[in-house]
Amino acid sequence: MKTHSIHWKSSVTGTIGTGTKLFEKQEAERLATELNESYPDIDHKAVIPVPPAPEPRDPNQPGPRAVEGLNALPPPEFAL
């Protein structure tokens, strides 16, 4: 199953990145080793990519609205 991509970091500039193409684990590890041999100034690793965090909400924009019936709690069956 294709679950891994290549993460890299330049030892010269400090620039980092993660590829978008997915590979099977063994293929990603083999490719990372090959890339490290070909490009010694860049450290390559096989990783399972993590999706980026959502953008923070702009406090100047209105928040999400409740849709009637979607998140409504049912009425209590009894009162305390």
Alpha-carbon gap, residue 6 to 11, rounded angstroms = 16
3-state secondary structure of 47: strand
Q: Where are the domains of the chain?
A: 5-47
* pTM for the model: 0.63
Element (H, E) at 76: none
pLDDT in tens, 8-42: 999 999 999 999 999 999 999 999 999 999 999 99
Alpha-carbon gap, residue 45 to 76, rounded angstroms = 54
